[in-house]
Structure 1
Amino acid sequence: MKKFVVENEFWDVFPKAKIGVVISLGIDNHKKEIEKYEEMIMAAEKEAMEHIQGSEFSDNKVIKVWREAFQKFKTKKGARSSIEALLKRVHNGNHIGSINPLVDIYNAISLKYAFPCGGEDIDTFVGDIRLTRAVGDEEFIPLGSDENAPPYEGEVIYRDDAGAICRCWNWREAVRTALTENTKNAFLCLELVDENRYEDFENALKKLEEMVSANIGGTSRTAVLDVDHREVLIKE
C-alpha cells in the first residue's frame, strides 16, 4: 500500500494551499502520435499568453503569487516555480518540446491554466510519498545530473523513504522517480496557493484527468488535499 501524505510541517506554512492529485493506473505512456502532442503543446502555449499580459514579467499575478510563496521557506538561489519556468520560455518565444505523453499532457494543462503541475512514476516510490519540509540530508539526484544535491533544512519538498523527489516544492524533479515511456502507474499533482483561483484549479484538475484517460488509457481518479484532508491512498 502506498499513500500520498501532506504533513503538518507543510500546512503550518501554507494552511490555505490545495494539492490536486490524479492517480492513473495501467496506462500506456509510449509515444505513438508525436504530432498530436506537439499540436497540444503549441495550442497551450498560445493560451498561456493570456496569463502574461503585464509589461513586467514578474508582476503577472500567476507568477507573483508563487514568488511570494517561495519566500516563505529556504530555497536554492534562483529557484523558481515550475509554472514561472514554463511561462518564461513561452514569453521568450521558446517552444516547449514533446517529452512523453504524460509530461506533454501535464505541461499543456500547466500552460493553459497557469498552475504548477508535475508527475512521478508510482512504481519507483519507496514507501509513501510526502509533501513536507526537508531535514536537509535527503538524497536528491536531479534530472540531467548524477550528483547528489540534497535540499536545505526547512525547504519544502516531495519525498519518499529513499530521499527527495522534487526540490523547492515544484522547482526541480529527481531522475529516480521521473515519468518515462515505460511508466505504467503515474502520480500527477496540481498545486494551488491563490485561494481566489479555486474554480480554475478545479477545472484544471478535471481536464488533466480527462486528457490522461482519453490519450493513454488506464483508470484514473482525482483527489484534492487540503488542511482538513491530508492524505490519499495511491495504490493498494
Structure 2
Amino acid sequence: MVESRVDSNLLQNAHVASEIFELRPDYRVILLLVEGISPGSSDDASEALLQEAEASVKNLLSKYPTTEIPHIAAWREAYKAFGAKPQKTQNSLEALMRRAKNGLPRVNRLTDIYNAISIKHQIPLGGEDLDKYNGSPFLIRATGQERFQTFSSGEPTTELAAPGEPIWCDDTGVTCRRWNWRQGPRTALSDDTTRVLFILDALEPLSDDALLRGADELTSALQRISPEVRVSQRFIGTSA
C-alpha cells in the first residue's frame, strides 16, 4: 500500500463531532481513500460481485422482512432518534436492499463494485469524488442553517438541513444529508472518477471486524481491476 502525504493529511484531519457519539455511542466509520482507479463499464468481475450480492439478498429476505434485518433495523432506530421518519427517508443500505429484491442496477464498474460490497456486508457505503471535494470530511449535527445543493424534478434547488440531523460536510458545504441518506450532486461519482473517498458506516450489532472485512473486500476488488491503486484508511469510533 502506498500512502501519499496528501492522503494522510486528509484522513488525519477528518473528524466526527462529539454530539454524533452522544446520539449513538456505538457509531463507527471507516474512511477509505482510493486513488488510481481505472474507470470502465460493468464487466465480468463486477457482474460476479453483483450476483453474489443478489444471492445474499435472497438469503437475508428468507429470514427477515427488510425492516428487521439487524443492521437496517439499527439505522432505522438511529434515524428516529434525530427526528427523521425512516419509512420516508431510508438509509442508503435499506434503499439499496429494496432495489436489490428485483436485481441490483448495473451502472458502471466502480458503482457496481461498491453497491455489491454494501449489500454483501450490510454496510451503508457512500463514495465522494475527491477531485470535486474540498478539504477533509467531517460529520456534525446540523443547526438548520446549512444549505444543501440538490435537484428536484430535474432542476437545481437548495434545501436547508433539518436541525439536529447528522450531515457529512467538506470545507465547501454539506456533501450528504441525514448521515447516509442523500448525497449532493457536487461530489457525486461519475463514469470518469479515479479518486474516491469511501465512507463505510456501522452501528451495533455490526462488529468492528465485520466493518473491516467490508473495507478489505472493497479494497481488494478495486486492486484487482486497477493494480496500481493507492489506498489509505482510517477508523473512527469512540475507542479510536
Q: Provide the TM-score with structure 1 as the length reference.
A: 0.86
Kept in 1, the 8 Å contact 2:30–2:234? The answer is yes
Kept in 1, the 8 Å contact 2:167–2:176? The answer is yes
Query: Map of 1:75-94 to 2, 5 A cutoff?
Result: 75=84, 78-91=88-101, 93=102
Kept in 2, the 8 Å contact 1:48–1:114? The answer is no
Q: Per-residue deviation at 1:228?
A: 3.8
Match of 2:171 in 1: 161
Match of 1:112 in 2: 120
Kept in 2, the 8 Å contact 1:44–1:108? The answer is yes
Q: Per-residue deviation at 1:121?
A: 1.0
Of 210, 215, 221 in structure 1, the residue corresponding to residue 232 of structure 2 is 221
Work out the CA distance in 2 between the residues paired with 1:196 and 1:56.
18
CA shift in 2, pair 1:86/1:33, >3 Å: closer
Kept in 2, the 8 Å contact 1:209–1:222? The answer is no
Kept in 2, the 8 Å contact 1:51–1:114? The answer is no
Provide the alpha-carbon RMSD of the alignment. Answer: 2.1
Given the alignment of the two structures, is residue 132 of structure 1 paired with residue 143 of structure 2, yes or no? Answer: no
CA shift in 2, pair 1:214/1:140, >3 Å: same
Given the alignment of the two structures, is residue 41 of structure 1 paired with residue 50 of structure 2, yes or no? Answer: yes
Work out the CA distance in 1 between the residues paired with 2:124 and 2:209.
15
Q: Percent identity?
A: 28
Of 8, 14, 20 in structure 2, the residue corresponding to residue 4 of structure 1 is 14
Given the alignment of the two structures, is residue 27 of structure 1 paired with residue 18 of structure 2, yes or no? Answer: no
Q: Per-residue deviation at 1:13?
A: 1.1
Work out the CA distance in 1 between the residues paired with 2:223 and 2:75.
29
Kept in 2, the 8 Å contact 1:31–1:101? The answer is yes
Q: Per-residue deviation at 1:145?
A: 5.1
Q: Per-residue deviation at 1:63?
A: 2.0
Kept in 2, the 8 Å contact 1:51–1:62? The answer is no
Work out the CA distance in 1 between the residues paired with 2:210 and 2:44.
28
Q: Provide the TM-score with structure 2 as the length reference.
A: 0.85
Does the residue aligned with 1:137 lie in a helix, a strand or coil? coil
Query: 5+ residue gaps in structure 1?
Result: 230-236
Work out the CA distance in 2 between the residues paired with 1:79 and 1:90.
17
Deviations 1:117-156 (A, max 9, x none): 1110122122321111112222222366511122101111
Work out the CA distance in 1 between the residues paired with 2:155 and 2:239.
37
Question: Number of residues paired by the alignment?
Answer: 226
Query: 5+ residue gaps in structure 2?
Result: 1-8
Of 177, 180, 185 in structure 2, the residue corresponding to residue 175 of structure 1 is 185
Work out the CA distance in 2 between the residues paired with 1:48 and 1:150.
35
Kept in 2, the 8 Å contact 1:75–1:152? The answer is no
